[in-house]
Chains A and B, each alone.
Chain A
């Protein structure tokens, strides 16, 4: 589909929405406008984008991005790709669940792995990881826990359950606690050239 034509049509049909062409997709510059743009694509007789195929996110260090791929099952065309950028420190984006039920699990997945908060989602919980998991593993700055090194709370737990802990591990945990650090795995840096 001609992305420039889609851009003009959305702006004509859904009011003054700031859109920017990024590759073969449209960036909705204000996240709050997303619902209006999606509503237009869904209802407009020219588009009838009734099928939200994929909702996914990506981390670009300066911002987080959600990418939506719309297709039409009725007219059998597509895709129209919309993207929304949100700040890392305030990642709030409107939810498309009221329009498309298909976004329900996918937005939960993005919340789980990227920490993007979808406002208006009926049941925004972690879907893969457990509820008290800390951090968002798909963000590029996420540091993984080192499973080999014990921390002081691990040692407390082991002591409570009567499991013998080697002295060296105990010293290492003390050291970490004093330094106020957590046992994090070193990030595997591969040759990116």
Chain B
């Protein structure tokens, strides 16, 4: 972690020291229950928080969700395995490539499909580009919640746009990519695209430096984020928190390292950790993770081999995906999504449709500790804390 501005520390008082009610005062006070959302710009979609306030301090907060619920799991159980691939794009619509990755990985585990090497490299490249997209926008929106209205977001979106152009070129769609197939990819990447990705990877650190110059030591950002919404390490582990939120609390757990799925075990990268677990750490861990992603991208672009883009076993199903019937069994596959552990649980009964399909959505489970982090904080800080969890309602509500 870089140096923190020490002068600010004295002015910052954590809300633990804040006396909610003055016991000596004879003034009658009342708590106030308000609804934040569902239509509120800071909720990042349609999400509601039932907040009880004492003055400005949050005493209780109950998340209410389900406004976007479409029973994604049942829809997937009523269609073929391959047909759910475009549907996973709509889970976390910022990171469709990672969602495809998780689903493809799970079905490959279920049906024991070996994936060609080139495919693995392209998948890693796409997943890391997605991480860049997600983290820049997450930081942009976090700043939005802090009141820096849309200027940081537009800086972030300028860079995101360049990556989305790459996605459009390889898959045909900017956000709903539907690019992965079981055992391979929909089409190969051309050398021209790899050249463009190389260009992005070369220029991205300069953008991050610019972003950091404006933000990292910014006094307003530090004042609003440091010591706000602290998530203790033990609670984070116990509540199944994953992703940057967990690592900001100092737990070294990254599925790319632990499972080493795909070809991640071939690349050298560090897992950035935060010292404290406040909102500022979550912001800074995301910045550092982007720098690590760039390292992975650099190594992957250097090492990408030529070769097939579809496993031999899956070639018969390229033109007739509905005939694909995995053997009876079950599989739980997980990837390190930009928001946390994205898991898919699938049970096959030997037919062309899954018997059971379940998504372990990171944003949904990360919301478990929203109340713990917000209790005792100001309402304005609760908005920032929600922003720092980085939720996407398509995934929360499923």
Contact = CB atoms under 8 A, between A and B. Distances in A.
A47 to B, nearest CB: 14
Contacts, number: 90
Contacts of A23: 329-330
Contacts of A1: none
A53 interface: yes
Interface stretch (B13-21, B28-36, B68-76): B68-76
B347 A101 contact: no
A35 interface: no
Nearest to B344: A54
A53 B240 contact: yes
Interface string B243-256: 00000000101000
Nearest to B343: A54
Interface stretch (B90-98, B202-210, B351-359): B351-359
Interface string A118-147: 000000001111100000011000000000
B66 A129 contact: yes
A102 B238 contact: yes
Contacts of B343: 53-54, 69
A191 B325 CA distance: 13
Interface in B339-384: 341, 343, 345, 347, 351-353, 355-356, 358, 360, 364-365, 367-369
A138 B240 contact: no
A192 B365 contact: no
Nearest to B79: A190
B78 interface: yes
Interface in B233-271: 235, 237-241, 251, 253, 258
B113 interface: no
Interface string A7-50: 00000000000000001000000000000000000000000001
Interface residues of A, number: 36
A73 B65 contact: no
A129 B74 CA distance: 14
B351 A192 contact: yes
Q: Is the interface of B mostly helix, strand, loop or mixed?
A: mixed
B395 to A, nearest CB: 13
Nearest to A193: B351
Contact of A128 (B69, B330, B341, B345): B69
B329 A127 contact: no
Interface in A57-111: 58-59, 67, 69, 73, 76, 79, 81, 100-106, 109
15 contacts: A23-B330, A50-B238, A54-B345, A56-B360, A59-B356, A101-B235, A102-B238, A102-B241, A102-B365, A105-B365, A128-B65, A128-B69, A129-B66, A190-B79, A191-B352
Interface of A: 23, 50-54, 56, 58-59, 67, 69, 73, 76, 79, 81, 100-106, 109, 113, 126-130, 137-138, 188, 190-193
Given A67-B345, A190-B353, A193-B351, 15 more contacts: A50-B237, A50-B238, A52-B240, A54-B332, A56-B360, A100-B238, A101-B368, A102-B365, A127-B65, A127-B66, A130-B66, A190-B78, A190-B79, A192-B351, A192-B352
